[in-house]
Amino acid sequence: MVNLYPVVPDNLEIAIKEALKFIDGGEEHRENNESKKPRVYSWKKDSSFIFSAFKQTHGIDLSAEELHWWVFLALFMDLGADTAFSRIINLRSRIKSGKATKEERSAARDMGDMFDVEDDDIKSVEDIENRDAFMSKVRQHVRS
């Protein structure tokens, strides 16, 4: 929240709604659990592949550039199919949809932990506790 709002806004409910809208590239945030697609990438796990794909596709070194989030999202959606990142995403999609060949499933198994993407980036007990503490503060603020 601090990255989006250096000072906590008075109306936290509206602030959260607007933050989600910003993160979603200006689109109204919709949480529709029925049409949720399987997760095929992780910002944490795939960061090196994403950095490499940006350099390969757009000639941009993300560690040296300052991009507006919406510009980043637009470029992210246009990463080349010939990047390692795009090939991994394609393989994960095929595996999760059940359309992968025997050879693709074998390749995914050979990749081991690098291939698997959790449904949530939160992994450690500390991360869970930090998330719970944050949500508790949000709920307290909304009630007051």
- Asked if residue 61 and residue 30 are part of one domain, the reply reads no
Helix (H, G, I), strand (E, B) or coil at 4: coil
- Asked if residue 27 and residue 43 are part of one domain, the reply reads no
- Asked if residue 68 and residue 79 are part of one domain, the reply reads yes
C-alpha dist (Å) from residue 144 to 6, 11, 135: 20, 10, 14
pLDDT band at 29 (very low <50, low <70, confident <90, very high): low
Residue 133 has pLDDT above 80, yes or no: no
The answer to whether position 76 is within a domain reads yes
- Asked if residue 19 and residue 42 are part of one domain, the reply reads no
- Asked if residue 71 and residue 59 are part of one domain, the reply reads yes
- pLDDT at position 68, please? 92
- Asked if residue 111 and residue 65 are part of one domain, the reply reads yes
* Mean pLDDT estimate for the chain: 82
88/92 Cα distance (integer angstroms): 6
144/140 Cα distance (integer angstroms): 6
pLDDT band at 124 (very low <50, low <70, confident <90, very high): low
Summarize pLDDT for 67-100 with one digit per residue, the tens.
999 999 999 999 999 999 999 999 999 888 889 8
Domain count, the chain: 2
